[in-house]
Structure 1
């Protein structure tokens, strides 16, 4: 009599250092928000929107790192891809829109806040930050992290090593934060919508290409998933194809939607300027 294949039991995962970081980030943000809120009503609507964005981004991090999805990602490649997409195209842009750095800073005691503010205003730090936030640099770092970690040898090494796995996820999150900062952070302030749309379009293309390669590959890229996927009654190649589709279709749609939002923002900013210039021209014609 054949023994039944072991079934996956959904469970939440609680890595102490991950839970500690998540709780600390939420607590500091909440404290900073309350301190700014008590200082006056100016900007409350904007801060409320940022709070909502940060809260949703934080929940996406919880879903990726602590929910049953994290446990399932060890058994199914497709679940692992859902986890990665949650980090890079859901949590990262929402956290950028939440502007957590300023709120975290306000949560600190005045002496610590002033010390950190002085440190980040140094020429060396500002130079490093300007380089990292250049659209081309942020784009390249994000693309390099994505493609390098999906190389079969590195991907399987990360599956076998908790330390490498943590480094993989950290590189995805940090590079995605830099990438989305050039779209919704620096670009929003300096009106670099053209660069932002170019970054989004080219990222949609190369991530879609990687997803297509995974989906259409005739063989398995990651043999480490053969045994756990088979134990769950899932064909490993079908699991890989589904994971590729997750990156290819929903991921591509996310970048396309962000590009449309960026384009609409650019058009809305140009429309008042065009009206002003037309009004000036009309007055000159009338005066003449």
Structure 2
């Protein structure tokens, strides 16, 4: 039980199966930030948006909605119980929210018109993701709100920068960077999946109330990172390749 008392992450102590649905995160700082962002995203709707701004605004609104789902709903508390749910959070940050932010911000902010170095951004995003899934940094993030904020913020920022660089890069280079990210995501997932013992101290006891061994929880998280995580990157590469092929065919026909 000492382990359970020691680990009180940002989303609160790990809930049991009878309590998690009532565990909404009502952190006033988070709710205030979300409310201010909602005003910024929905207030301009009073004026007729231009066709060119409609899609970026939709992307930013979708990112806002997913952020609220991850950090306000009971999924936040459930991520204190299961490493698997924490991995789902992180995959949603880097593979869903970050691309949406990249799409929205690229059309809105002047600095996004620059071309960030693709391979530097790829290395940065990969390094940040690997660092926070090492046992010691992960445990530190679940023992301090400041470290948790640093973990979440750095994952989102580095991934957003990566997707902005991908959007600005030539198609061949963008696909290459995504494929490298696919391999490295799969490698990290495989290392977690095939670890012989539980690695993540905050979850050594938190899964037991659910009848799940911590190693089983960790293995499922590794599978999610290895398969769906890698496939999401691969899907992005295929989409870029398809659009590139269409553009080339269009030029040939002209």
- Residues 19-64 of structure 1: CA distance to partner in whole angstroms, max 9, x if unpaired? 2222222321223455562xxxxx51x4333333222222111122
Are positions 1:25 and 2:8 aligned together? no
- Structure 1 residues 130-169: aligned runs within 5 Å: 130=115, 133-169=116-152
Aligned-residue offset at 1:265: 1.3
Q: Which has the larger radius of gyration?
A: 1
Distance 1:195 1:20 in 2: 40
- Map of 1:92 onto structure 2: 98
Distance 1:231 1:82 in 2: 20
Task: Assess, with a 3 A threshold, how the Cα gap between structure 1 residues 217 and 135 changes in structure 2: closer, same or farther.
Answer: same
**TM-score of the superposition, structure 2-length normalised?**
0.86
Alignment of 1:78-227 (within 5 A): 78-99=84-105, 102=108, 130=115, 133-184=116-167, 186-187=168-169, 192-227=170-205
Structure 2 alignment gaps of length 5 or more: 1-14
Q: In structure 2, what is the Cα distance between the partners aligned to 1:193 and 1:71?
A: 40
Q: 1:178 to 1:206 in 2, by over 3 A?
A: same
Structure 2 counterpart of 1:237? 215
Relative distance call for 1:181 and 1:36 in structure 2 (3 A) is farther
TM norm structure 1: 0.76
Aligned residues: 238
Q: Secondary structure of 1:14's partner?
A: coil
Q: 1:197 to 1:69 in 2, by over 3 A?
A: same
Structure 1 residue 173 displacement after superposition: 0.4
Tell me what 1:283 maps to: none
Helix, strand or coil at the partner of 2:81: coil
Which one has more relative contact order, counting CA pairs under 8 Å at least 6 apart? 2
Q: 2:252 is matched with which residue?
A: 274
The answer as to whether partners of 1:61 and 1:86 remain within 8 angstroms in 2 is no
Q: CA-atom RMSD, angstroms?
A: 2.3
Cα deviation, 1:200-259, whole Å, max 9, x if unaligned, reads 101010011101111111111112211111122211100001111111111111111111
Separation in 1, partners of 2:107, 2:205? 43
Aligned to 1:53: 59
Closer, same or farther: CA 257–176 of 1 in aligned 2, 3 Å: same
TM-aligned CA deviation for residue 146 of structure 1: 0.5
Q: Secondary structure at the match of 2:20?
A: coil
Checking the alignment, whether the CA contact within 8 Å between 1:64 and 1:83 is kept in structure 2 is yes
Contiguous gaps of at least 5 residues in structure 1? 38-42, 106-116, 277-288
